[in-house]
Structure 1
Amino acid sequence: MARKLILSDHPEEVRKLTESYIQSGNLNFLFGSGASMPAIKVAGNIEAEINSLLIGGNTADANLMAFEFIEELAEASVDLLIEVDEPSVKRTLDNYVDFLSILDGILFERKNILLPRQANLFTTNYDLFFEKAASKLPRVTMNDGFDRTSAVDSRYVFAAEKYFDRTYRSGISNDRLAELPILNLIKVHGSLSWTRYNDKEIRFNDDNFALSGHVQKNNPGEVSKALAKRAVILPNIRKFESTLMERVYFDLLRLFSNSMEKDNSLLICFGFSFGDEHILDITKRALRNPTAQLIIFAYSDTDANSFEDKFCQHRNVVVIDPGSGKRIDFSTFNSILREVGPAGGKPQ
């Protein structure tokens, strides 16, 4: 069964356990909507609510709910990218910047030359906090899966195989190669900055985060058309509005599965409920790998109990419980990682 550690009772044990796995494992992180609080509300039961409408045959209301959910995220992303002075957005962005800085430092100082200086950042979030945070850290290299080597008119095309690239730098006076830390950002549900081109390829579009404009919400046709422009996996049982999105979705899920099947793979989960059945099933299958390890940082003790139930058959799962009445928010999560990283994880 899954092991549970209570952070408030055993902070040093939590730190040592986290450090031991990070220093010896192939690093993977899984982030959900909880990571973007308080700027963006937790997704909650949005998928169940939309599914209930679809099952009842009320497609128009299901589409409207999905549209309003995505537009709320887009509005927050507009504030983020134009740097509106909103305390909740600034606080959330600071958390992401802090995390990327700490992780980059951990990878840079890795002592095991057999392990890549890479970490995979899997997220189901559509928002652009990871991308904006990386732009604040010039020394951090983030690979978002877009091929920028041969673009025409900045039409960067998404290519999942880019995640297999490793980057090296040679010295000026010798040919010695040094691998640079790379953070692979893998957005399994798509992104507000993705756009579909003729339903044949996904292109990066830094204008696509914008709001959809004056859509008449009482017009089901307009709502459906606005949804179709977004290159995202919709939060419902139908999920796919196109064959292209279905293919990309399963390509990225396969990448998630393959990453967990490597020797000594570590998956650290934060802000994710494992409510997505596809990801939950893949994670459980991947944990059949006896060298794989999953560490889940639970927001509350209630969440910790839920994770224990979901992974009750898996011995290679550790659930970090904050303790009764306490919380593990993003800043707390970063403080634990900071103890693992060099120089206290200060920005480079």
Structure 2
Amino acid sequence: MTHSAPLHSLPLPDGRRLSADCGAGSLVLSLDDRPLLVARREGDCWQLGGPASVEMLWAMAYWAFASDAPCQRVRFTAASVATEAFSLGLASRDEIGGLQLERAAFWQLPGLWLQSTGSAGYPQVWRMNSGRRHPLRAPKPQGEVYRRFDARLGQWISLRTLDVELDLERFNRWQNSPRVLEFWQEGGSLEQHRAYLEKLAQAPHTTTLIGCIDDEPFAYYEAYWAKEDRIAPFYEVDDYDRGIHMLVGEEHHRGPHKVESWLTALVHYLLLDDPRTRRIVAEPRADNARMIGHMQRLGFCKEKEFDFPHKRAALMVQSRETFFERCALC
């Protein structure tokens, strides 16, 4: 959806601020009050006054796509375009040779959002685990891994790895809340939850994450490599499929608009983390109609229902192609 009010300022994860001055057919973008780009609109095309650098085009793409979620491409002209903009995939040519910035390409660039080195480029070497052949996984990240200002919410959405000492009490409180307990069934004592989290910390295929809004922890996620997980026998798993388990612990951060923010951020992070990941999967309880409905609204498809030993589950799948083609990040 388009924002009801013009978007004039966007804070960046590195502390800088992108500002826009939009007039009748004109655009001036500044970075920390430093003029960066001046453009005039002619029809559906922005005309830049001189050479276009990577920084200029990145800023223009971010402002355009954050301002207008339905916008899929920005056409522009420039005296010249930095070669790197094409090699990165930031700029491309349309079917008649015109210059363009595409939403689906822009949001696949790690840019400033990815705060860790990720798994991209990690060598593909093979291991056997419980009779399953899978790629050796990169070392798990530590600290903050993803940060982006959600222009729709007007708040920061970020992900960091779970710290057992820092997060144990809130994890225990969340798991013992009746709403979470109904679906997770992992209630218990602090000692039991410490053992649960320490076991996951030793599991090479699982990363535990804390979701934050404006740096307030509100959600817990488990991101796992599906090839090594219990879900693998139930569908045609790919070597780099990622799976997710999710819970929102803080009541005041519930609601469809918040789900749209944090679920798209979580999927975005995992797809940026390794470009070889083609699908994100999940297996909520089949009777969790509310969560399944949220996921379907945000691009997941329900492929089937199946039986785990402990529950009847729905196989929910989000493909890389669908996510970026329908991407409503802003």
Same fold (TM over 0.5): no
Q: Per chain length, whose mean CA-contact separation is higher, i.e. which structure has more relative contact order (CA < 8 Å, sep 6+)?
A: 1
- TM-score by length of structure 1 reads 0.25
**Which of the pair has more CA radius of gyration?**
2
More helix by share: 1
- TM-score by length of structure 2 reads 0.25
